[in-house]
């Protein structure tokens, strides 16, 4: 469908180019925005300081300065490290982010692949980064890295499960695993007889939304689930031995993944690229105006900003769990609650 974007016929090579550019923008722009707005500025204001102020107006060029600093640094590989795996690891982490954004729809026609099992694919690809983190910890030949890598593997596997189970509720309600169809289901239905609000699933799947966001927090290894990095005990966890551009790739991967997971959360729970007002109202996807392909990404971006803001807010104010408490929370609280959520959703779906 991308071939008829904005009612312009685009040749195949043009479509491919657009997809590559769109993927780069969808991953790197949120990452840069998150680092500047939240990591530099919001964190500073919460901690009664100003943050970067010198590079560019209001410190807005700080990110470029940081990136150019990292690119200039020496690429150190420890002597005892398994060099090949050590080099591949950050690339695997970043690649999983790029693969994840492939199924995210940004507008009625603005997507890269319209994949029928999109949710399934996204959740499967999202856990590929575990492999990157695990081999980064293992190949660094450092005890702190090793502990961090093992902790990350344990944590990411434990929180993958509640994430999947939380999404099942949405899939039941939408009746589809296609992310585009989930967006359509939320914008064409109505709730309480109010057709102007649409039907964002966060209203009925609130428990699922909470579990999903907690699991995302853990998948991103942000505080209170930052045990794998744990700068006060494991120095920097699996990233301890990385420097220069390899560390930069890890760093971009961390925040780009935050952005992409927030995109997916806003599709699953907040109505995706649709807005809850009747002036954009529509009944089928074919009746959507073409210019939603331009407005849609902006709406997605603002929803993503909101969700990432919540993730970062929690990150800046909470202390971290201990490893065993973290596992206990996943297995004893989140998974039973999400199973109960699925059962209730399924019963109501059939009964109502």
Partner 1 sequence: MTVLNERQQLSYIAAQAADARLNVELETEGMTLNIGPQHPATHGTLRIIARLDGEQVVWAEPVAGYMHRGYEKLTEVRTFPQVTALINRIDWLGSFANEVPFILAAEQLMEIEAPPRAQYIRTILFELSRIANVSLFLGDLGVQMGAITPVFMAFRDREYVLNLIEGATGGRFHPNFDRIGGLKDDLPKGWIAETKQVMKKLRTFCDEIEDLLFGNEIFQSRTRGVGIIPADVAKSYGMTGANLRASGVDWDLRRDQKNAMVWDQADFKVWTHPDGDSWARCWIRLQETREATKIVDQLIDNIPAGPVMTKVPRIIKVPAGEAWVSTENPLGEMGYYVVSKGDLGPFRVKIRSASFNNISITPWVLKGVYVPDIITILASLYFILGDIDR
Smallest distance from the beta carbon of 34 to partner 1, in angstroms? 17
Q: Give me the count of residues in the chain.
A: 352
The span of 65-73, 213-221, 285-293, 315-323 binding partner 1 (CB under 8 A) equals: 315-323
Nearest to 39 by CA among 340, 334, 225, 308: 308
As measured in angstroms, the least distance from the Cβ of 252 to partner 1 is: 21
3-class secondary structure per residue, 193-247? CECCCCCCCCCCCHHHHHHHHHHHHHHCCCCCCCCCCCCCCCCCHHHCCCCHHHH
* Residue 241 binds to partner 1 (criterion: CB under 8 A): no
Angle of helix 335-351 relative to helix 143-174, nearest 10 degrees, comes to 10
Number of chain residues interacting with partner 1 (CB under 8 A): 26
Nearest approach, Cβ of residue 272 and partner 1 (Å): 33
Q: How far is residue 145 from each of residues 59, 81, 140, measured CA to CA in Å?
A: 33, 11, 6
**103 contributes a contact to partner 1 by CB under 8 A:** no
325 contributes a contact to partner 1 by CB under 8 A: yes
Residue 126: CB minimum distance to partner 1, A: 23
3-state helix, strand, coil in the chain (%, to 5): 70, 0, 30
Distance of CA 20 to the CA centre of its chain: 19
Is the separation of the CB atoms in 190 and 197 below 8 Å?
A: yes
Q: Is 318 in the site for partner 1 (CB under 8 A)?
A: yes
Q: Stretches 14-22, 87-95, 195-203, 223-231: which one binds partner 1 (CB under 8 A)?
A: 223-231
Q: Does 323 bind partner 1 (CB under 8 A)?
A: yes
307 binds partner 1 (CB under 8 A): no
Among 219, 226, 241, 254, binds partner 1 (CB under 8 A): 226
- Separation of alpha carbons 195 and 14, rounded Å: 38
Query: Rounded distance, CA 284 to CA 269, Å?
Result: 19
CB count, 10 Å around CB of 348? Answer: 12
Task: Pull the structure tokens for residue 326.
Answer: 């973290």
Distance CA 106, CA 299 (A): 9
Closer Cβ to partner 1, 139 or 173, answer by number: 139
Which of 16, 325 has the CB closer to partner 1? 325
Asked whether position 41 contacts partner 1 by CB under 8 A, the answer is: no
- For partner 1, the binding residue among 69, 73, 322, 332 (CB under 8 A) is 322
Q: Which of residues 138-177 bind partner 1 (CB under 8 A)?
A: 143, 147
- Please tell me whether residue 231 binds partner 1 under the rule CB under 8 A: yes
Cβ distance to partner 1 smaller for residue 215 or 300:
215
Tell me if 17 sits within 8 A of 25, measured CB to CB: no
* Least distance between partner 1 and beta carbon 223 (Å): 5
List binders of partner 1 among 60-99 (CB under 8 A). none
Q: Which is nearer to partner 1, 46 or 83 (CB)?
A: 46
User: Per rule CB under 8 A, is residue 4 in the interface with partner 1?
Assistant: no
- 313 scored as a contact of partner 1 (CB under 8 A): no
Question: What Cα–Cα distance (Å) separates residue 162 from each residue in 167, 279, 334?
Answer: 9, 36, 6
Pick one of 22, 30, 169, 224: the residue that binds partner 1 (CB under 8 A): 224
CA 10, chain centre distance (Å) = 30
Burial letters 284-302, b for 16+ CB under 10 A, else e = ebeebeeebbeebbebbbe
Instruction: Using the rule CB under 8 A, give the single segment among 31-39, 76-84, 311-319, 335-343 that binds partner 1.
Output: 311-319
Q: Which stretch binds partner 1 (CB under 8 A): 16-24, 45-53, 258-266, 269-277?
A: 45-53
Contacts of 129 (CB under 8 A, 6+ apart): 92, 93, 96, 97, 156, 253, 257
Check binding of 235 to partner 1 (CB under 8 A).
Answer: yes
By the criterion CB under 8 A, which residues form the site for partner 1? 43, 46-49, 143, 147, 223-224, 226-227, 230-233, 235, 316-325
């Amino acid at each position: 469908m991308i071939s008829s974007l904005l009612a312009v016929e685009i040749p195949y090579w043009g479509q491919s180019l657009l997809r590559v550019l769109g993927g780069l923008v969808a991953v790197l722009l949120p990452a840069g925005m998150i680092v500047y707005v939240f990591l530099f500025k919001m964190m500073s204001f919460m901690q009664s300081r100003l943050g970067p102020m010198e590079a560019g107006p209001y410190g807005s060029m700080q990110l470029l300065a940081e990136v150019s600093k990292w690119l200039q640094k020496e690429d150190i590989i420890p002597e005892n490290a398994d060099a090949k795996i050590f080099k591949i690891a950050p690339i695997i982490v970043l690649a999983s982010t790029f693969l994840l954004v492939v199924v995210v729809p940004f507008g009625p026609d603005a997507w890269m692949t319209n994949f029928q099992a999109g949710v399934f694919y996204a959740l499967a690809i999202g856990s590929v980064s575990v492999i990157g983190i695990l081999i980064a910890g293992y190949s660094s030949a450092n005890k702190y890295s090793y502990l961090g890598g093992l902790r990350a593997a344990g944590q990411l596997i434990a929180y993958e499960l509640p994430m999947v189970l939380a999404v099942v509720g949405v899939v039941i309600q939408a009746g589809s695993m296609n992310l585009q169809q989930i967006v359509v289901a939320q914008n064409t239905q109505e709730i309480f007889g109010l057709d102007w609000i649409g039907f964002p699933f966060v209203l009925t799947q609130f428990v699922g939304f909470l579990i999903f966001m907690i699991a995302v927090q853990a998948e991103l290894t942000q505080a209170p689930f930052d045990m794998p990095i744990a700068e006060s005990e494991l120095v920097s966890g699996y990233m301890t031995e990385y420097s220069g551009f390899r560390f930069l790739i890890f760093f971009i991967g961390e925040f780009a993944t935050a952005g992409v997971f927030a995109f997916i959360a806003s599709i699953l729970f907040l109505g995706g690229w649709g807005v809850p007002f009747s002036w954009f109202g529509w009944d089928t996807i074919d009746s959507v105006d073409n210019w939603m392909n331009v407005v849609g990404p902006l709406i997605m971006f603002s929803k993503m900003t909101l969700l990432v803001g919540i993730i970062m807010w929690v990150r800046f104010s909470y202390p971290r769990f201990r490893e065993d408490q973290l596992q206990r929370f996943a297995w004893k609280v989140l998974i039973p609650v999400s199973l109960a959520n699925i059962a209730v959703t399924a019963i109501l779906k059939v009964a109502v």
